[in-house]
Amino acid sequence: MSSINPQDQELIRRLKQEIEAVSRLPIPEKWTQKDYDFLVYFIEEKSGVRISLSTLKRIWKNENNRLPHIATLDALSQVAYNKKWLSLKTDLIPNNNLPAAKKPKRYHKLAKLTLGCVVVFALLFSSYKYLKKTPENLNFNTEEVSFSARTSLDNEVPNSVLFDYDVSNIDASKFYIQQNWDTRRRVEISKENKTQTDIYYEPGLYNTKLIADSTILAEIPVHIKTNDWFLMGVVAENKEYYTKKQWLTNGMLGVSKANLAIVEAKKEEIGLVLYNSREFHADGDNFKYNSSFQMEPIPEIQCPKMAIILKGEHDYFIVQIVNKGCESDAFFKLSEKEISGKNNDLTMLGADVYEWQNIQVHVENKALTIMLNRKEIYKNHYDEPIGALKEITHIFYGWGAIDNVQLTNANDSITYANSFD
């Protein structure tokens, strides 16, 4: 590593600013461990290169006395400006033409809560796809790799998954299996072995990676199913799983807040997640979904929100409804398109979340229509297929309940319905 000259320092500063903006993290002075963990994941997903947590901390805290390794600089430059470090430096510094960094779009509390707690929350704001991402500068013959998975139980959690793999013909220093997007769920495996097991504690459709050094060799779906809904409460970074005996019994699906071990100082970081993961026998490009929801006031949460995630085997939808006045936090995702209330007019997604709201998602031949309380509020289309629906999840930033859930397929046949009576 060489010494850092003033021009390099300025370029690194701009790279950091740009990455903070595109990742929507809060200002670095407020970062916690989970924010740094997310940044490791975010850079890896965007560049295909995994930068160690300690290295990222040194860079962001300006503790480097020497210039970071060129592979690290290339990864940062790729994420920020889609160029390699030397190319960026050659193009911009001689003319003193460093691009202005974008004003960071900071994560609101829903995203911050879920980075450390709930996998599906992170999907709200990352550009994670069920697609293989391989660094351009690393070359492996993946035709010589095998990777498959099978669950030890049907429709239950926790569930041990048995991975069968063969990397015997791959020349790399280390090999890993990564359970999902979260790099903390990465387990080192032996090149000589053929089997590895891992435990999944929550249902859902996961995209599991087989990795050599920092290169993704293969990705496979792992579908952890349940026969019924699965409810999980979150306070800050702590999770609580609720048995059916703890569910509400008054004609709706939720949990009494009395079951939550609330830490007074963390009321603003309360969340409730309701999963349903199974074969829904409906095409994600042609279906109708209907449900109702209501939230419970928590004084410390000024902008409560509820997000519906409808996940298919290839991609997913997100519709995030917010309390009136908080429409800047509204959010849509429909396959390859992500639409944020930060820079789009999504005021139609504002509602009185403390009263029952009915939401309908209608998709026909990749054309999406959203109805709120039987009034059409949004239409859009997308190009990349969703695939067969595998997971329905409702996420509350705050506390809430749902009712009258119904899913129909392209033939208008009901493939799932529950009024929780």
Q: Which pLDDT belongs to residue 294?
A: 97
pLDDT tier, 3 (very low <50, low <70, confident <90, very high otherwise): low
Q: Mean pLDDT, to the nearest integer, of 68-79?
A: 89
CB atoms within 10 A of CB 248: 15
- Compute how many other C-beta atoms are within 10 angstroms of the C-beta atom of residue 397: 30
Secondary structure, 3-state, 400-418: EEEEEEEEECCCCCEEEEE
Contact predicate 116/271, CB 8 Å = no
- Of 116, 25, 110, which is closest to residue 318 (Cα–Cα)? 110
Q: Is the dihedral of CA 137, 129, 384, 281 positive or negative?
A: positive
Bridge partner list, 247 = 255
pLDDT of residue 119: 35
Spatial separation of the C-alpha atoms in residues 326 and 323, rounded to whole Å? 6
- Tokens 């309360």 label which residue? 270
Q: Please tell me what DSSP assigns to residue 288.
A: E
Q: Kindly state the percentage of the chain with pLDDT values over 70.
A: 85
> Residue 113 pLDDT > 50, yes or no?
no
pLDDT at residue 116 greater than cutoff 60? no
Q: In one letter, which amino acid is 95?
A: N
Predicted pLDDT of residue 45: 77
Q: How far apart, in Å, do the first and last CA atoms of the chain sit? A: 66
Please check whether residue 287 is in contact with residue 389, taking contact to mean a CB–CB distance below 8 angstroms.
Answer: yes
- Residue 117: the pLDDT is 36
Question: What is residue 212's predicted lDDT score, i.e. its pLDDT?
Answer: 92
Average pLDDT score over residue span 240-244: 90
- Mean pLDDT taken over the chain: 84
Q: Which of 175-179, 234-238, 313-317, 359-363 has the lowest mean pLDDT?
A: 234-238
218 burial via Cβ count (<10 Å: 0-12, 13-18, 19+): middle
Token look-up 């800047």 returns 328
- Residue 262: pLDDT band by 50, 70, 90 thresholds? low
pTM exceeding 0.75? no
- What is the reported pLDDT for 267? 66
Cis peptide before 26 (omega within 30 of 0): no
Residues contacting 355, CB < 8 A, separation 6+: 294
pLDDT greater than 90 at residue 32: no
Of 418, 30, 383, 62, the residue nearest 228 (C-alpha): 418
Separation between Cα atoms, residue 201 and residue 176, nearest integer Å: 20
Report pLDDT for 281: 97
Q: Is the pLDDT of residue 10 over 70?
A: yes
Contact 147, 195 (CB under 8 A): no
Lowest mean pLDDT among 34-48, 129-143, 187-201, 344-358: 129-143
Q: Is the pLDDT of residue 403 over 70?
A: yes
Domains of the chain: 6-123 (no CATH), 142-224 (2.60.40.10), 230-418 (2.60.120.200)
User: Measuring CA to CA, which residue among 330, 326, 333, 358 is closest to residue 346?
Assistant: 330
Residue 174 — φ and ψ, nearest 5°?
-140, 155
Q: How far is residue 234's CA from residue 197's CA, in Å, rounded to a whole number?
A: 27
Rounded (10°) angle between helices 6-23 and 85-92: 110
The proportion of the chain whose per-residue pLDDT surpasses 90, expressed as a percent, equals 53
Mean pLDDT of 205-221: 91
Q: What is the pLDDT of residue 107?
A: 38
Mean pLDDT calculated for residue range 39-61: 85
pLDDT in tens, 319-328: 999 999 999 9
pLDDT band at 5 (very low <50, low <70, confident <90, very high): confident
Inter-residue contact 392 to 310 (CB < 8 Å):
yes
Of 94-103, 115-124, 246-255, the least confident: 115-124
State whether residue 329 is helix, strand or coil. helix
CB neighbours (10 Å) of residue 306?
26
pLDDT tens digit string along 271-294?
Answer: 899 999 999 999 999 999 999 999
Q: Residue 142 gets which letter from DSSP?
A: G
Return the higher-pLDDT residue of 140 and 252. 252
